């Protein structure tokens, strides 16, 4: 699962955009948006290409592309 907020923040930080990244991945901008928002699956090949384009370290890769979805009870501290 993509960490939407972290990835979107990094895109802004790197002064690029979802449409520019989509073009470099060879996908439609709408598809890129759906992948970032976890509406469509992010392929490993796409995640690796984004890692390269956004200069994400190997150590940080999982923070951006393997975010865990917390159960609502966990979020409340139960």
Over residues 50-60, the pLDDT tens digits come to 999 999 999 99
Q: Which of the two residues, 27 and 78, has the higher pLDDT score?
A: 27
Q: Does domain 4-72 have CATH number 1.10.260?
A: yes
| DSSP string across 18-72 | HHHHHHHHTS-HHHHHHHHTTSSPPPHHHHHHHHHHTT--HHHHHHHH-PPPPPH
Give Cα 19 distance to the centre of its chain: 14
Give Cα 48 distance to the centre of its chain: 11
Over residues 3-47, the pLDDT tens digits come to 999 999 999 999 999 999 999 999 999 999 999 999 999 999 999
pLDDT for the residue 39: 97
What are the domain boundaries of the chain?
Answer: 4-72
Do 33 and 18 contact (CB within 8 A), yes or no?
A: yes
Which pLDDT band, with edges at 50, 70 and 90, does 69 fall under? low
């Amino acid at each position: 699962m993509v960490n939407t907020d972290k990835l979107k923040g990094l895109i802004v930080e790197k002064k690029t955009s979802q449409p520019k990244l989509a073009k470099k991945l060879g996908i439609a901008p709408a598809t890129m948006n759906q992948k970032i928002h976890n509406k469509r699956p992010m392929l490993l090949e796409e995640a690796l290409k984004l890692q390269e384009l956004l200069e994400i370290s190997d150590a940080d890769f999982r923070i951006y592309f393997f975010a865990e979805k917390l159960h609502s009870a966990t979020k409340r501290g139960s």
